[in-house]
Amino acid sequence: MSQQGPILIVSSEPASPLADAVAQLKVFPLIETVWADVPDAIERLHPAAILVGDAETSDALLARTARRLATIKPYTPLIALDPKSMLPDGVMPFTQSNSDPKHLIARLKAALRVRTEHATLLRRLTDPSAPCMPQSDPLQDATVLLIGRGGSYPALSVALGQQMGLVGALSIEAAAKHLNARDLDGVVIGEGFSIRVVDAFLTVLSEDARFRNLPILLSAAGGLKHNYDLPNLEIAHGEPATLAAHSIPLIRQHAFESRIQRALKSIDAGGLLDPRTGLLTTEAFVRDLNAAVIDNHARGAGLSVARISFGETSERMQIDAARIVGRLMRRMDFASLERSSIVIVFAETGLRNAQMVARRFTSVLKHTMMSANTDQRLEPQVTLATLQPNDTAQTMLARLDQEAQRVAS
């Protein structure tokens, strides 16, 4: 992977042990500097990433460097080794006691992959018709899975839930269902599990390409001996607020990468996909539905449309539901998020089979989505319409809307 710039290693000492350890692997061009020269080095060298080797570095220096990098495109990761306190926004941790320098190289490669994807997106955004990237904090898009059943679970739930979407699991089996049902930006493993169970879970994650790059924060790791193929695995100790702060930079990076990938898919599809949800835009959905109706009238195949509504829910929850539906749909189906509900077209599907599929969707959504109000139970409402001999796309959607209004009242 070409990172289009050197790796800058910042240390108070002219010759850093960190630089020696990384240089032995002969992977990246390295340049060492001291804190006084960092601003000038950033301007002159345009580094691809910055490693901070001083555990005692002041938060003010780190925060100032992170704010400067946040104004630079493409994305430039900033990693601090063995942090002794909560890190400023934009600074990712790496605990050297977790593993050997090869793990640091894996962490760097994962971060540089995000940089490469961001550079690709910036290059392709020159087309005026390309979708705009949101400028909000990627944490607003993030969803993290919290696994645990110990005394720290409630406090961790509050600390994480205040800043991002949160899905809880009291068992590894429940966690596996969430991993397969939805897109996640991180996993936090709390107390309450034996070393054998945690080891087996991490081994499964490392062997599955879908989860290998997920940020994983492990709050208790005594007895773990394996060197897992998980570049973003972090082991931390402390109070729940400290653990949450330790995990947030890696989760933010993953959410940013997911945002980039959705935007690239939208560009590849000619702007027909909504970069927030991965579903069709409203205009593309209406166009495809018109074509599907005409084709089904000609061939006599079945066609059904379902509307899944959630009532008064936040935009974040609606987008989350849309991404879950996108994972559940068959390749021949298509959908769009509109007016706080999701409309799905089931190709070559009669009403009876459409009811079965929609029931499965709502069951997954009900047990997977989390309300901002933990006492509120989500009850998605489903309405269905099937293609009639004289139907057009407009009459099908109108009948679907009428049925939805009847159910709501």
Q: Which amino acid is at 60?
A: A
Q: What is the pLDDT of residues 353-369, one digit of tens each?
A: 999 999 888 888 887 76
CATH 3.40.50.2300 fits 1-124, yes or no: yes
Domain 131-262: which topology? Answer: Rossmann fold (3.40.50)
CA-CA distance, 59 to 47, in Å (whole number)? Answer: 21
Query: According to the model, what pLDDT value does residue 315 have?
Result: 81
* Residue 10: predicted pLDDT: 87
pLDDT at residue 77 is higher than 80 = yes
Rounded-to-integer distance, Cα 17 and Cα 12, Å:
11
Residue 185 reports pLDDT greater than 90: yes
| Three-state secondary structure of 188-254 | EECCCCCHHHHHHHHHHHHHCCCCCCCCEEECCCCCCCCCCCCCCEEECCCCHHHHHHHHHHHHHHH
Q: Position 56: which residue type?
A: E
The domain segmentation of the chain, as residue ranges, is 1-124, 131-262, 272-408
pLDDT at residue 24 is higher than 60? yes
Q: What is the CATH number of domain 272-408?
A: 3.30.70.270
Same fold, 131-262 and 272-408: no
At 300, the pLDDT band (50, 70, 90 cuts) reads confident
**How high is the pLDDT of residue 284?**
93
Q: Which band of pLDDT confidence, cut at 50, 70 and 90, is reported for residue 371?
A: low
Asked if the model's pLDDT at residue 15 lies above 60, the reply is no
Task: Specify the higher pLDDT residue, 166 or 404.
Answer: 166
Q: What is the pLDDT of residue 12?
A: 72
326, 278 contact by CB (below 8 A) = yes
Q: Over the Cα atoms of the chain, what is R_g? A: 24
- Least confident interval from 44-53, 55-64, 111-120, 353-362: 55-64
Asked if the model's pLDDT at residue 374 lies above 60, the reply is no
Q: What angle (nearest 5°) sits at the alpha carbon of residue 292, between those of residues 388 and 329?
A: 100
Catalogue the long-range contacts made by 359-365 (C-beta closer than 8 Å, 24 or more residues apart): 360/328, 361/306, 361/308, 361/325, 361/328, 362/308, 364/181, 364/324, 364/328, 365/308, 365/321, 365/324, 365/325
Give the global pTM. Answer: 0.87
Asked which of 73-82, 128-137, 257-266, 382-391 is least confident by mean pLDDT, the reply is 128-137
Helices and strands (H and E) in the chain: how many: 12, 14
- pLDDT digit string (tens) for 186-210? 999 988 888 888 989 999 999 999 9
Distance of CA 170 to the CA centre of its chain: 21
pLDDT at res. 318: 85
**Do the strands 216-218 and 165-169 form a parallel or antiparallel pair, or are they unpaired?**
unpaired
Q: What is the pLDDT of residue 13?
A: 65
CA-closest candidate to residue 39, choices 71, 86, 84: 71
- Measure the CA–CA gap between 187 and 193, rounded to whole angstroms: 15
Give kind and range of the element (H or E) at residue 179.
Answer: helix 172-181
Cα–Cα distance, 335 to 339 (Å, whole number): 13
In a 13 Å sphere around the CA of 205, the CA atoms on its Cβ side amount to: 28
Summarised one tens digit per residue, pLDDT across range 134-174 is: 778 898 889 999 998 877 888 888 889 888 888 888 899 98
Kind plus residue range of the DSSP H or E element containing 60 = helix 59-70
| pLDDT tops 60 at residue 332 | yes
